[in-house]
Amino acid sequence: MLTFIEKLLAAWAETARRAGAPLAAVILIMGGLAGYYAATHLKVNTDTSAMLDPELPFQQRAVELRDAFPQIKNDVVIIIRAPTLDEADAYAGELRTALLADKENFTAVFAPASDPFFRENGLLYLDQSELSARLTQMSKAAGLIETLIKDPELGTLFTTLAENDELAERSDLGQETLQEIYAELAAVAEASLDGERRPFSWMGALDEETRAEPHHTRLVYATPVLDFTKLKPAKAAITALRAKSDTLNDAYSGRVETYVTGDPALRMEELESVTTGIGLSFLLSFVLVTILLLVCYRSLPMAALTLAGLMVTLTLTSAFAAAFIGELNLVSVAFTVLLVGLGLDFAIHLLLHIQEHRAAGRDNQSALRYAIHEVGPALALAAPTTAIAFLSFMPTKFDGIAQLGLIAGAGVVIAFFVTITFAPAALAVFKGQPGRTHSGRVRGLFTWIENHSIPVAAATVIFGLAALLLMPQVRFDADQMALRNPDAPSVQGFNLLFDDPETAPYRLSRLVDSAEEAIETHNLVSKLESVESTRALPDFVPDDQDEKLELIDFGAGTLIFALDAEPASVQGPSASDGIAALKSRLNEAYQDGPGAKLAALLGQMENDGAAQGLMQENVFAFWPQLVAQLRDSMNADYVEIENLPPALRERYLSEDGKWRVDILPSADVRDYRALDTFVGDVEAAVPDLAGGAYQATKAGETISFAMLEATGIAFAIIAVFLWLLVRRLRTVLLMLFPLALAAVLTSATGVLLNIPFNYANVIVLPLLIGIGIDSGIHLVLRNDQIKAGEGVYGTSTPRAVLFSALTTVASFGSLMLSPHRGTASMGELLSIAIAFTLLCTLIVLPVAFRFDGKSSSKRA
């Protein structure tokens, strides 16, 4: 069979050689046209859930959940963080208003803290004890509130505080509250003296729990208009959102931080990260590969010929992907970098042998004929076996790598035919000596390897056996966030959601048919240690409403009277008089603490008109919002499911009557162990789950099985294929041995370095199999061709194997520089895999040849 293949290849290559430069030109033109077609038709989909078989049960439940509640996938989440609650609330309210007005880019906006329903009924969601304390605190401030509504000026505030401090024991405003107000005013005064914006926190002054928070967070959910005809469907909406945020940031003097996250923002920034990383990696790898080819051939024309063939291979493969797939995923997008390594292998092996014979004085025709004899059968075996390695992922449930398998498998076949067609045709450009084929340094390297190969090979095999102990710890990390650039704003915002258990995005969800089933779900899982709480629409109906409404009616009497005061109806003292009055009282009453500090600052402000003006702005910046909020909160009324705001109802009750129950974890499930525990506990109680936490766990299980399944399929099919062609079990085992050893060593190293398999770096398996079997085939068949006792190190084959591996390392190693963590981990693990493949192929395999040769001699 191999003899027949050799004759067929020789005839093909000779025909291409005779066609010469015209054929080479036609191939280059075809490559250019294919590149244009691919550039205009090939797209990228960053949705990792689309990389798994949609028929899987957990995938179907995920689709059902997204169809019932599209906000899960379509909404962007704006996280607003401010040093005071007043600023956070005001910012969220202004942003909500701006987004609601932008009908071109947003179809819906939900800002819970700014929603009229929650502004009116927010007090009902407090515990009774908390509600009572809040009402008491606000009632104590009723006199001050009434006074400031009538005259919201600095002089009135300071004069009133001086009077209340003097009468603290008998006034409605307690001493403890006064001290908190003094501390807040001191901070504002200090900033005003420095010419800085630092608004007074009225909510902080009136509520002890609010004062204790180091920062305050508000969320705004916006549904963007998505244009799916574009590569980044949400780009227009997110750009408009960021412009509005920038305008507000200026108005708030940069004191408020905003982060835009949610699936549309995450996918947009991930696509930017991936494409930027892949683009830079491709350019860097191309430069490194060019340098390695120049070192390999020591001939610029030969390096240029190889690179030209590579570009044709890449464009033809891209056109194939555009025509038959149309849309790449986060795994298959790496095929370009992958083929930079694999697409060169065939050319390097063929051209090094041609160059070797050209250097010996033979013409192009003779050099090509000898090269085909020596390397042709190996190339013919390497192409289909490498393609099989990639295609073995197609039967699995992991559609992401199945797509890569199809593209890369086709690319390998294309690379083979480009090599045996384009390279012989382009040989016409070489009229003179093609350069030296060997350098002393490279030959010295192989001499050293030959002299030390036995102990190194023995150590490698021993480490391989020890590495088997780590195989149970090999895992797949299905966390999408583990792939993304940690410095991307959307990822930073996403991680901030974990600060509050109520907003933690990794949760489980269950769809039920009624409120009763939602309550039953809560009862089934709420006692589990791994469960923090559940969220469903009935949970937004406050408990003990009768008692709470009675408390509000009873405790709000004086406050309602104060809020009814006529605005700006009184002319109070000037700012200077107020400062003097409060400073005098504070100096008299306090030697230390907030009161003494405020007195000292007021002394500095007495003759500083600019500071007084800024103090006026800072103190009353959010006073109107406070008064409006207090008025709204006095309108609380009985809440039922039917009168919950539509924006909230549609997030938990779908149009077709499906009720959504969210199950929140008690631990940080970004730790895979906590995630496994959480999902396992809840699944035991409630099997029909969906949600991000469930998706990640089941995706990991599916892909882990797919990896094992595909690897087993690849090994089995390749072994049978090789045996059918060479008909020698010993030869087949020698070809597969270094591959298996490299796979074990790579997996173990990933465990030791904490580089788990993920959606991106999982391509290490087909690549390792492809490169490993390719190199093994070349060395085994070349070893069978050479004369007894000469040794395979004396041929061009090890040199070709070395530089094939080095060019692959150069192409994939460059991925480590990518800002996308998934792409970077791909570069890390693939570089490790190729290094082990090179070690096992160039050192362990030749040692196996020696022992196999000795055994054969003894048997003879």
Q: Which of 296-310, 319-333, 726-740 has the lowest average pLDDT?
A: 726-740
Q: How many Cα atoms are found within 13 Å in the side-chain-facing hemisphere of 415?
A: 33
Please give the pLDDT value at position 433. Answer: 46
Residue 645 is predicted with a pLDDT of 93
pLDDT of residue 602 exceeding 90: yes
Mean pLDDT check: name the lowest of 273-282, 305-314, 426-435, 574-583: 426-435
CA 649 to chain centre: 30
Helix, strand, coil percentages (3-state) for the chain, rounded to 5, are 70, 5, 20
Q: If DSSP states are collapsed to H, E and C, what string results for 423-447? A: HHHHHHHCCCCCCCCCCHHHHHHHH
Position 50 scores a pLDDT of: 67
pLDDT 10s digits, 60-84: 999 999 999 998 889 999 999 998 8
| The two three-digit tokens of residue 184, written as one number | 């807040």
Count of beta carbons in the 10 Å neighbourhood of residue 794: 14
Residue-level pLDDT at 789: 46
Is the pLDDT at 819 greater than 80, yes or no? Answer: no
pLDDT tens digit string along 498-513? 888 888 888 999 999 9
Of residues 640 and 757, the one with the higher pLDDT is: 640
Question: Token pair 């200026």 is at which residue?
Answer: 250
Residue 444 has pLDDT above 70, yes or no: no
Bridge partners (DSSP) of residue 661 are 510
How does pLDDT run across 407-431, given as a tens digit for each residue? 988 998 999 999 999 999 988 766 5
Per-residue CA distances from 208 to 87, 182, 201, 503, 724 (Å):
17, 14, 12, 23, 81
Residue 787 pLDDT greater than 60, yes or no? no
Query: How high is the mean pLDDT of the chain?
Result: 84
Q: Identify the H or E element spanning 522.
A: helix 515-525
The backbone torsions φ and ψ at residue 106, rounded to the nearest 5 degrees and listed phi first, read -135, 135
The percentage of residues in the chain with a pLDDT greater than 70, rounded to a whole number, is 89
Tell me how far apart the alpha carbons of residues 185 and 190 are, in angstroms, rounded to a whole number.
8
Domains of the chain with CATH codes: 8-49+299-480+698-859 (1.20.1640.10), 84-254+557-633 (no CATH)
Query: CA 783 to CA 776: how far, in whole Å?
Result: 10
Most confidently modeled range among 174-178, 194-198, 433-437 = 194-198
> Which residue has better confidence, 772 or 639?
639
pTM of the full predicted structure? 0.77
Mean pLDDT throughout 11-21?
A: 90
Confidence of residue 649 (pLDDT cuts 50, 70, 90): very high
Instruction: Give 692-751 pLDDT, tens digit per residue.
Output: 899 888 888 888 888 778 778 878 887 887 787 667 787 778 778 888 888 899 999 989
Q: How confident is the model at residue 154 (pLDDT cuts 50, 70, 90)?
A: very high
* CA 435 to the chain's CA centroid: 47
How high is the pLDDT of residue 858?
Answer: 46
Cβ neighbors of 641 (< 8 A, separation 6 or more) are 515, 537, 538, 540, 541, 649
The DSSP-derived string for 475-514 is: -B---GGGTS-TTSHHHHHHHHGGGSTTT-S--EEEEESS
Give the span between the Cα atoms of 617 and 622, in whole angstroms. Answer: 9
